[in-house]
Amino acid sequence: MRKIGILGGTFNPPHIGHLIIANEVRHALNLAEVRLMPTATPPHKKAASDATEAQRLDMVGLAVRDIDGLTKCALEIERGGVSYTYDTMKRLTELEPDVDFHFIIGADMIDMLKDWHRIDELIELVTFVGVGRPGAIGKTEFPITIVDIPEIDLSSTFIRRRIANGETVQLLIPGTVESYIRKEGLYGSRSHKAGN
């Protein structure tokens, strides 16, 4: 049975922290691939309005384009509406019954698992994989595989702020993603010259 990882998020924009998580988990657990899956309408966090769903999906595609074993997954955006992990993973397991799915979450999400929609059914569908996150405890009574990864205290909010202020994001996001952001004029980048 193929083992495939799923890393969900708003990816608004995707940054090297996301890529490190996906790559480290793929190698640690010998997964065939890890799919980065942007959410449509996240139930617990509203995405900034200045990057559309299509643009976030484009940026994920650019971010993983040259990284072996990392791919993008458009399922939640194609389905639209509020994204609950249970509904998404139920659909994925129906579409690919021969795959053992590993759902990757940060320690901040581990702390909240008890409040997740249909969590008892969800843990029957997938193997949860937890990774460290600066400032989060990462404790739960639910079964979870912990993967030790290099932690980087980086968020999409921080990246958006940097771009809006005309500050450098070099090495914090892939160059292809930065070029796309500037070409599309996302996050206030239109008011600053490329290369800042």
Is 22 among the domain residues? Answer: yes
Output the pLDDT for position 196: 43
Taking 50 as the pLDDT cut, the residues of the chain under it are 47, 194-196
Output the pLDDT for position 181: 96
How many structural domains are present in the chain?
A: 1
Residue 68, domain CATH? 3.40.50.620
Is 62 among the domain residues? Answer: yes
Task: Assign 3-class secondary structure to 121-152.
Answer: HHHHHCEEEEECCCCCCCCCCCCCEEECCCCC
Full-model pTM: 0.90
| Domain residue limits at 72 | 2-152
Is 140 among the domain residues? Answer: yes
What does the block give as tokens for 161? 């702020």
Output the pLDDT for position 108: 82
Which amino acid is it at 152?
I
Is 189 among the domain residues? Answer: no
